[in-house]
Amino acid sequence: MNKTLVISLALVALGGAGYFVIAEQKAQPVLTNIRLKTLDGVEVTLDGPDLAGKRAAICILSSWSGLCETQARQVIANAGGVDKLVFICQGEEREVREFRARLKAESHLWLKADGKVASDFASVFENITTLDRVPALIVIDGARKVLHASIGELSDAEVKAALSAKAE
């Protein structure tokens, strides 16, 4: 069976137990030049107007994972400290649309199928070249500086702390 991998992202206007760290966050790297497309084919970037000057939480998830869905709901419930939520969700397009519907996310974006999502986001962490586990949570400020980066399940308290992280 030939499956198509779709990486999706949701930008949502804002108005679990246990934690493990697989990699340590680098000293405030900056995320730039990551090119994305909406499910409707509109191209955007993390440098673009949707996130310009905005504090954002980037959640990297799998549409088929119950743990990832729980993590997404925790982030949505505790997102008062960020201006935008960005969900990167791996799965087939149909699964991604169903995931969006379950989360009641307002809009989704997906990464170009160029295989770069892992290397683009892995650059945030020390000593890894590919991001091969989910969920992952990255919080950036308006200048795209990384304020928090973690891989693995977070408790509600850890999600709240991550979303309110300040620059060092």
- Our count of domains for the chain comes to 1
Percent with pLDDT over 70 in the chain: 60
On whether residue 135 sits in a domain, the answer given is yes
Prediction pTM value: 0.73
On whether residue 12 sits in a domain, the answer given is yes
On whether residue 26 sits in a domain, the answer given is yes
On whether residue 52 sits in a domain, the answer given is yes
H or E element that contains 75:
helix 66-77
The answer to whether 157 touches 133, Cβ cutoff 8 Å, is no
Kindly report the CATH number assigned to the domain that includes residue 96: 3.40.30.10
pLDDT of residue 95: 80
Which residues constitute the domain of residue 139?
A: 6-163
Instruction: Dump pLDDT digits (tens) for 8-57.
Output: 333 333 233 333 344 444 555 666 667 776 667 777 777 777 778 889 88
Instruction: Dump pLDDT digits (tens) for 75-133.
Output: 988 888 888 888 877 667 788 778 878 887 655 555 544 445 556 666 666 555 556 67
Peptide linkage before 49 cis (omega within 30 of 0): no
CA 55 from chain centre, in angstroms, equals 13
On whether residue 110 sits in a domain, the answer given is yes
